[in-house]
Structure 1
Amino acid sequence: MSDLEEIVARCLQGEEYAWEYIVRTFSRRIYNMAYQITMNPDEAEDLTQEIFIKLYNSLNKYTLGSNFKVWLFRLAKNHIIDWYRKKKYVNSKIEEMKREILIDYHSNSFKDTVEELKEKVRKGIEYLDLQFKIPLILRDLQGLSYEEISKILDIPVGTVKSRINRGRILLSQILRGEK
């Protein structure tokens, strides 16, 4: 049994320290995942809290011996997708932000600082469909392996690679103003 498995087992037995360890270990990564989807720090914080409440309430459904990190990220992904489906984005706002990205990109492309470029990429990611956005975030921003992403999303590794590649192509087109 791995150290993480032991901590999860202790958490299941009600040890407060074990729960605190899980929250400390994974809260930043869950927040980052939520933020990359929502692009809103308050919503990302709310989603992170909701995910940990959901984790606390459903931890007894976790099977000891399986990959806890994959199980947790799958739970987070499902919760974020549910939130995303409930949230309706106004098309005019999306188009306005797209135009803003394009204007910024074309007028300042050689003057941009690294941080400004990162922000443009974050905004560009916002326009990707969830089927491309989530694998791209998990791989490029969270640093997960293709195999871990495959387990989290419950799709074959080849599909993960294909969606990440397609997501990168679409993101590139968005940043160049082709989409």
Structure 2
Amino acid sequence: MSFATRLKLFKNALAENSEVNIFERYIFPNARSIYESAVRLSGNKDDAEDLMQETFFYAIKNFPQLKDRAKCKYWLFAILRNLFLKEIEKNKRRIDFEFDLFSNSLQDIRHIENDYVKAEVEKNVRELLDSLDDRLKKPIVLFYFERLSYKEIADKMDLPIGTVMSRIARGKVYLKKELIRSESFRADIEQWLNKNHAPKNSPSK
């Protein structure tokens, strides 16, 4: 779908004539610049289009707040940036929460004192991380294990901050799927423990 077609669909979605007027007079002339900035921030076109549309909707709903119409372009850029930063913070909280679940799911196995089981678990975890594509693995390691911020990772990897955020999120999706598969590994370990270390029945009197 072309950029012009997407703008037309956005315009058709507006409910009031006043909203259409705002779009045509103030937003449409700046649409291309806003979209290009959204691409630079988010790192991909799909997220950029979503961010652009959110910016336009917010601007139209809050247009009375803009006192100097000559500064509309800069106002739109400010809205775009603020919405992007809010999305980063929201995704950061979600990713942190999901990673905590991922870590906690392995925690009870890590506490097992049997050396054989520990070795098997460590091997399983290493394989889980190593199975990630380097583009996804590196930002996850930097974020969770080296505790770097999104900006620090972006600078280190020479990537847009939005790309870093997107890769961490994609890596998390993959890890969650693999964790579900690893439940069978956990069951095998527990079965092995029960088989080899179950207390013997007391001799009958």
TM-score, normalised to structure 1, is 0.42
Work out which structure has the larger RCO, using CA pairs closer than 8 Å and 6 or more positions apart in sequence: 1
Which has the larger Rg?
2
TM-score, normalised to structure 2, is 0.37
